[in-house]
């Protein structure tokens, strides 16, 4: 074998052992995220290896990629809290080679390399099978945003909030959680009021199923401990004054499902709505939720959502566009969902 053949063989072997992905790093050169070739030896521990087909770009991913919040707990790390892909190797009895699986949360994209790369290695107890009604791309259009929205709706249902009880408020309506919450609630027959800072997107929100669109300023300022009763239920992804005002104007016996903190982590509220009106504040965590709850949420999503919803809510990008899109997402320049075609050109 001559030197040229040896060099070619070495290059081919190296190519087989690397894959494309977004890598976040922090060292003496600072914090940075970039698309690059990643060696398979950098994959974390896990009993299931996955050929990733699609991932997503969530608010948390935007923070991780830009470094605007300390989301990433160890470096270097592949961001991406969502992924769907095909099992390439499995040491778990629950999954076989060729199975299509979904991962949402469990610290993936924070302390365990995630979905914004062509390869991933996960723990089997974090995975669920792809629901039969969804394509891999549709599952990632839903992603953590749609799954979280469904968990919020389930919390309202389990606390007795029915369509007959009255209006349901959805804050952060143009975001991923908000968009899916509106669509799910509308399909279930609820009267939905969408709160957004972009009233020019009202036609989009009404197409998803919102009956009314209000400006977020009506909820985002300092309010009163109790306000006029209006909402039978609330799905809030904003937090801070918005959440406090939503609670203050929730009807007797209503439920507020809180799942986000885009406005802030503070909660400048009074206990009055909870004591005097029996309002329930239900905290919705999607990261460490049990597999049973995940399967229930995904099953309900497959029962409720129609294919047309996916066209209205999502846009598709590739890995080369992720870093730029992350900044736009945090700047509020993106509506709905961003699905990342990890294998695409």
- Tell me the pLDDT tens digit for each residue of 226-261: 999 999 999 999 999 999 999 999 999 999 999 999
3: tokens are 């030197």
Q: Is the pLDDT of residue 292 over 50?
A: yes
pLDDT of res. 310: 82
What's the rounded Cα separation, in Å, for the pair 288 and 290? 6
Query: In this predicted structure, which of 97-101, 121-125, 186-190, 304-308 has the lowest mean pLDDT?
Result: 304-308
Residue 320, φ and ψ in degrees, nearest 5: -65, -20
Instruction: State mean pLDDT over 286-293.
Output: 94
pLDDT at position 154: 98
How confident is the model over 63-103, as pLDDT tens digits?
999 999 889 999 999 999 999 999 999 999 999 999 999 99
Greater confidence (241 vs 13) lies with 241
At 6 the pLDDT is 45
Q: What pLDDT, in 10s, does the model give residues 37-53?
A: 999 999 999 999 999 99
- Does residue 236 contact residue 171 with C-beta atoms inside 8 Å? yes
Residue 132 contacts residue 119 (beta carbons within 8 Å): no
pLDDT confidence of residue 13 = 44
Residue 196: its pLDDT value, please?
96
Percent of the chain with pLDDT over 70: 95
Q: At what angle do helices 176-187 and 136-158 cross, to 10 degrees?
A: 70
Looking at residue 154, the DSSP 8-state letter turns out to be H
pLDDT at 9: 44
pLDDT single digits (tens) 207-216: 999 999 999 9
Residue 262: band (very low, low, confident or very high) from pLDDT cuts 50, 70, 90: confident
| Structural domains present in the chain | 14-130+311-341 (3.90.180.10), 144-283 (3.40.50.720)
Mean of all residue pLDDT scores within the chain: 93
If you average pLDDT over residues 115-134, what whole number do you get? 96
Cβ neighbours around 125 below 10 Å, total: 12
Report pLDDT for 345: 62
For the segment 144-193, what is each residue's pLDDT rounded down to a tens digit? 999 999 999 999 999 999 999 999 999 999 988 999 999 999 999 999 99
The Cα–Cα gap between 69 and 47 comes to 30
């Amino acid at each position: 074998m001559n030197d040229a053949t040896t060099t070619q063989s070495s290059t081919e072997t190296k190519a087989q052992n690397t894959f494309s992905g977004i890598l976040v790093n922090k060292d003496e050169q600072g914090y940075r995220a970039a698309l690059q070739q990643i060696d398979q030896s950098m994959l974390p521990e896990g009993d299931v290896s996955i050929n990733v087909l699609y991932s997503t770009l969530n608010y948390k991913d935007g923070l991780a990629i830009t470094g605007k919040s300390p989301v990433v707990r160890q470096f270097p790390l592949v961001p991406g809290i969502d992924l769907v892909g095909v099992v390439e190797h499995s040491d778990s009895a629950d999954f076989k080679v060729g199975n299509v699986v979904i991962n949402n949360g469990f610290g993936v994209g924070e302390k365990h390399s995630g979905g914004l790369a062509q390869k991933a290695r996960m723990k089997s107890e974090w995975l669920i099978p792809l629901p039969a009604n969804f394509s891999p791309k549709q599952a990632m259009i839903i992603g953590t945003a749609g799954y979280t929205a469904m968990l919020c709706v389930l919390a309202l249902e389990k606390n007795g909030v029915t369509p007959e009880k009255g209006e349901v408020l959805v804050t952060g309506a143009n975001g991923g959680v908000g968009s899916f919450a509106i669509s799910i609630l509308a399909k279930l027959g609820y009267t939905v009021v969408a709160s957004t800072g972009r009233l020019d997107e009202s036609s989009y929100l009404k197409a998803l199923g919102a009956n009314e669109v209000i400006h977020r300023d009506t909820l985002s300022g300092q309010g009163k401990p109790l306000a006029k009763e209006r909402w039978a239920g609330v799905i809030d992804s904003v937090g801070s004054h918005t959440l406090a005002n939503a609670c203050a104007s929730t009807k007797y016996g209503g439920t507020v499902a809180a799942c986000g903190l885009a406005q802030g982590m503070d909660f400048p509220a009074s206990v009055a709505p909870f004591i005097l009106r029996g309002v329930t504040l239900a905290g919705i965590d999607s990261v460490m939720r049990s597999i049973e709850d995940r399967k229930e949420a995904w099953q309900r999503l497959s029962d409720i959502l129609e294919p047309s919803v996916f066209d209205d809510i999502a846009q598709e990008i590739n890995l080369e566009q992720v870093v730029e899109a992350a900044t736009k997402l945090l700047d509020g320049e993106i509506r709905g969902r961003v699905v990342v075609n990890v294998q695409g050109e």
